[in-house]
Structures are given as structure tokens and as C-alpha cells.
């Protein structure tokens, strides 16, 4: 099965391919199927934004489309950056500038608890929508650590591994990450959907 990734983020494409490839799902970019959809993320939840993106791309491409809306939710920041993670601090900032804003916001805070949240939405041309949510709890470090990953990965520590996401291998991260957990649930949803259509 071919699915169009409703994202321009090359890092998400790699993660989606790594995880969904084992299911026989070929994940392609919008440009691979000749569409270019710019969706304004006006939803107030991760689920709403993922659905907006997936439904728009599925309609444009005439193929199943999968979207992920994810973000970092920091307890001491009132759950922020949350759905605004990708545009925290305003347009034009780098990943490093965004995570440094988080570190500055936590200056003097003892509560460093946080979680990464991912909501996966797959929209089919027939109107069917499948959704799944995954979370990974952790803590915010006092300084960035690691060279891999992207976004807020260098400041997000998973205590049982004693590593930030940016210090993990792709295999380690995919096994426990919010996106990995959401995709594992999505796999079950997709299998149930495909089984149901075969009857």
C-alpha cells in the first residue's frame, strides 16, 4: 500500500519509512505524487491538526495520506509549547533557538517533567479516518546533549535510558518514542481496517 506523507519534514519521512516499512506500507512525499498542499494548522489539539493535514492531502492526491502532529508538552510551561512546538517563539527560528527558549523558560524551575506527544491520522479517499496517539514521558535537561535527532531531541531525556533522544540511535528512539508508540497503535488500527474491507 502506498501512503502520502502529509508533511514536508524529511526527518518525519525517515521515521515513518523505518516504522511502517515493516508493514509493507510505502510512504512517499507529496512531491512524489505531484501534489503540494499547504495546510494551516488551526486546530487546538494534536489530533485536530493531524486530521486537517491528512484529509487535505488525501483529497488532493486521491491516495491514503498519513499525517503526524506532534510536540513537546512541558509541565512547568503550562503544557507548552504543545501544538505550537514547531513555531514556538515565532517564525524563522532554528530548532536550536526554539529549544533554548524552552531552557530559558525553565530557568530556576525544579519541575523539569515533560512529555512528547504524537497523534497519527490516516485519511483515505473514501472518507475513512484512522487515528492513534502516543506519548513518551521524560524530563528537560539543563543543557543540550547529543548530535542526532531533530527539534527538541537534544533537551529531552528519557530517565530509564539516561539519554536524550539526540543521544539515541534511530532504533532506540523508534522503539520508545511518542511517534513509535503512536505508529504501533496505528498499525493495529490499519490492520483492523484492512481486514474489515476484505470481508
- 69 catalytically annotated: yes
What distances in angstroms separate CA 163 from CA 74, 93, 198, one per listed residue?
A: 18, 25, 43
Picking from 9-13, 36-40, 134-138, 148-152, which range would have the lowest pLDDT averaged per residue?
Answer: 9-13
User: What angle do helix axes 178-198 and 10-20 make, rounded to 10 degrees?
Assistant: 50
Domain residue limits, the chain: 2-198
Active-site annotation holder among 32, 36, 69, 95: 69
d(CA 192, CA 60): 25
pLDDT in tens, 121-151: 999 999 999 999 999 999 999 999 999 888 9
For 147, residues 6+ apart whose C-beta sits below 8 A from its C-beta are: 166
d(CA 58, CA 45): 20
Q: Domain spanning 2-198 has what CATH number?
A: 3.90.950.10
Taking the model in full, what pTM does it have? Answer: 0.89
Amino acid at each position: 500500500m502506498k501512503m502520502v506523507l502529509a508533511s514536508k519534514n524529511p526527518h518525519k519521512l525517515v521515521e515513518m519509512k523505518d516504522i511502517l516499512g515493516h508493514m509493507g506500507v510505502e510512504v512517499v512525499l507529496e512531491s512524489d505524487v505531484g501534489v503540494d498542499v499547504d495546510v494551516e494548522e488551526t486546530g487546538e489539539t494534536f489530533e485536530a491538526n493531524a486530521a486537517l493535514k491528512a484529509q487535505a492531502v488525501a483529497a488532493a492526491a486521491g491516495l491514503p495520506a498519513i499525517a503526524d502532529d506532534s510536540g513537546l508538552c512541558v509541565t512547568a510551561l503550562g503544557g507548552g509549547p504543545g501544538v505550537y512546538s514547531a513555531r514556538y517563539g515565532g517564525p524563522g527560528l532554528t530548532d536550536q533557538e526554539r529549544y533554548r527558549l524552552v531552557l530559558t523558560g525553565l530557568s530556576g524551575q525544579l519541575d523539569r517533567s515533560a512529555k512528547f506527544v504524537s497523534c497519527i491520522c490516516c485519511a483515505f479517499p473514501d472518507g475513512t479516518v484512522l487515528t492513534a496517539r502516543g506519548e513518551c514521558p521524560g524530563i528537560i535537561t539543563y543543557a543540550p546533549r547529543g548530535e542526532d535527532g531533530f527539534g527538541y531531541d537534544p533537551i529531552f531525556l528519557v530517565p530509564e535510558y539516561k539519554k536524550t533522544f539526540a543521544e539515541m540511535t534511530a532504533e532506540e528512539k523508534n522503539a520508545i518514542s511518542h511517534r513509535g508508540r503512536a505508529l504501533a497503535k496505528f498499525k493495529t488500527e490499519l490492520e483492523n481496517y484492512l481486514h474489515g474491507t476484505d470481508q
